[in-house]
Amino acid sequence: MSLQHVIDRSGQRVAITLFIALAGIGSLSSHAQTDDEAALAEIYGSAEMVSIATGITQPLRQSPAIASVVTAEDIAAIGATELNEVLETIPGLHVGVSGVGYKPIFSVRGIHTQTNPQLLVLINGLPIKNVFDGSLGSSWGRMPVTGIARVEVIRGPGSALYGADAFSGVINIITKTTADVQGLEIGARAGSFDRYDQYMQWGGDVGGFDSYLYLERHRSDGPSRTVTADAQSSLDGPPLFTSASLAPGPVNLNRDNVEARADISRGFWRLRGGFQEINDSGVGTGVAQALDPTGRGDGRRLSADLSYDNASFGKNLGLNGTLSYYSVENLARLTLFPPGAFGGAFPDGVTGNPDVYERHYRGELSALYTGVDRHRLRLGGGYRKEDLYKVEESRNYTQITVPGLGAVPFPLGGLVDVTGVAAFAQEEDRTVAYAFLQDEWNFRRDWTLTAGLRLDDYSDFGTTLNPRLALVWQTSYALTTKLLYGRAFRAPSFAELYNVNNPTAIGNPSLDPETIDTVELGFDWNGSRGLRGVVNLFYYRMDDIIRFAPDPAPLTTVTAQNTGKQTGYGLEAELSWQATRRLRLSGNYGYQKSTDKEAHDDVGFAPTHLAYARADWTFTPQWSVSSQAVGVFDRKRAPGDMRSKVDDYVSFDLTLRGQRLFGDDWGMRLSARNLFNSDVREPSSSTLIPNDLPMAGRNVFIELSKAFR
């Protein structure tokens, strides 16, 4: 495979376009450093640290993984207020949405599915995914970021360290502690879409315990972007000839959510807690892809973990242990099809109320041993239980088959509780026991080989073994070279295993996990005067992909099967330059080509070319401005979808930031996202929403904050 084959002509056009855009806005950027810090970065480059690659904190460029770090300073500078906006800056990672609630889809290297189960998201090292469908839920992509200290991202497999779902990548969200906040800070935002946010955070000493508390509330009506046609539009044609569709009409994206976190530590012990509540969250284009202006989702998430971390537990021995609990409640009140649908048989619409309740229990113990010359050994194990302990459902329809129409809803005469007889999923649980071993071997002066192996034993589908190998060569003082191999797996979700009375999608308890094998070659160059360049090449192969395949006629359902194979290759490139003490320029470019081996065609959805450019300028000691551009190009349709490819777009953001104002106590941000009101659309999963999913146009907010020290 030649480099010319990877970087084709359209890729060159993308790079040129983004370079021109960056040059035009380069004088508008925010990189809030002191003069001394800027001078050191100018001479030596940055020394970012990362822990996600091995579980041990080490310099980013020496880590045995392709990783990125976004700090709280970066988050504030670019005007980000939710997790989605932070992840847009990561090379090779595209933030999309599904039609249902506009749930986030994080496409990494062309791996893109509607529920996004192939990416593992952690908060302080603990998974937060739903076991029911493998998704993050509609709220996590919108997780507020005021309480986040840093976000670490691995692109590529991580199952040898983190187990299931560390498939296309791993995102670890590290929340703030008293090391990040001293005293009280309060703030408020107001902006487009009737948006109002309030937050507070406090850090200090309470009776000898380092304590951090954080609370934030967000409320908005969401962007009222119009969908021109929906699923009901096609049903309004023959043979029913109804006019029930609410399209053209706006998507439903209102939300009201609360996030709270606490972090209390003393000595080797740390106790963390988190709570998230979402009320009246909009359902996007509707669960059945028919507009639903009254539908809503409510949810609550509660987490707690107690950890012990002693790097000097014994001679050459460190010990770490964690106990954690995580619960999820997802409640939905839905109108699947509007009033008047199906010949007027549903005067109040086709309604359903599916509710899911989960509990997750986890325990892990690991040790780090450095008593063998040139080796750093990490070994450990753990146990967890994932419990879908309650499923409830009421609805006003049942499913029948009509010749010429297929499966259609039939009225029950009112809302009926079907929990005990025909609920959409079964109450199930699974247990997982696992053990892992990792060795970092510095076998020569500038060479380190990291080898890892993890065994996971699942109660529902058996055992899986996942290795990793990483060779890191400090080629010169400025250049680091990495050659990596890893294998990862994605566990079947409970919906894929156990759905029984879902209107269309049926589970299959005989499923095997999805697997992926990935090879990566990376180069990280740190030049003088703050110039850094990174290039990564990758190839992967996915097997046993889980898809819902049509059942034999006369059945109209689809059942989960291990039917897919996919390959992909590409590159990611990054460049950053501390041009002066007050001006920093940075950007990245990603190219990927992913092929569905069954269809012999592009898998679709994910952008072939993805580009990001940023310029930061601190024009006075208190004031800075940041501009960024995101370019998304060449998104093809899924095999069999004959619509033209999804339109390209470039979106620009601009943020003005003031710090240490009025006696060092006040802060201010004024931010405009999608400044030039680009028509940004994410691909819909089928032709039922023919013109794709419209995203927010130009929107602005202003934020004021005050610190009490």
Above pLDDT 90, what percent of the chain? 71
| Statement: residue 668 has pLDDT above 70 | yes
Q: Please compute the mean of the pLDDT values over residues 79-103 and round it to a whole number.
A: 93
Q: Which of 507-511, 547-551, 678-682 is predicted least confidently?
A: 547-551
Mean of all residue pLDDT scores within the chain: 88
Looking at per-residue confidence, does 130 or 574 come out higher? 574
The model's pLDDT over 172-187, given as tens digits with 9 standing for 90+, comes to 999 999 999 999 999 9
Burial of 12 (0-12, 13-18, 19+ CB in 10 A): exposed
User: Which residue's structure tokens are 């480059």?
Assistant: 45
222: phi then psi, degrees, rounded to nearest 5 = 75, 160
Q: Please compute the mean of the pLDDT values over residues 263-277 and round it to a whole number.
A: 96
Which has the closest alpha carbon to 307: 294, 325, 293? 325
| Statement: residue 22 has pLDDT above 60 | no
The model's pLDDT over 98-118, given as tens digits with 9 standing for 90+, comes to 998 888 899 999 999 888 889
Amino acid 669: pLDDT? 97
CB 272 within 8 A of CB 302: no
Amino acid 227: pLDDT? 94
Whether the pTM exceeds 0.85: the reply is yes
| Statement: residue 484 has pLDDT above 90 | yes
Amino acid 128: pLDDT? 87
Q: Rounded to whole angstroms, how far apart are CA atoms 525 and 534?
A: 6
| Statement: residue 423 has pLDDT above 80 | no
Q: Please compute the mean of the pLDDT values over residues 134-141 and round it to a whole number.
A: 70
Q: Rounded to whole angstroms, how far apart are CA atoms 258 and 276?
A: 6
Which has the closest alpha carbon to 547: 516, 517, 505, 515? 505
| Statement: residue 37 has pLDDT above 80 | no
Amino acid 502: pLDDT? 63
Please, which residues bridge with residue 671 across strands?
Answer: 655, 701
Amino acid 265: pLDDT? 97
Q: Please compute the mean of the pLDDT values over residues 378-405 and round it to a whole number.
A: 88
CB 453 within 8 A of CB 467: yes
Which amino acid belongs to residue 557? Answer: T
pLDDT class of 4 with cuts at 50, 70, 90: very low
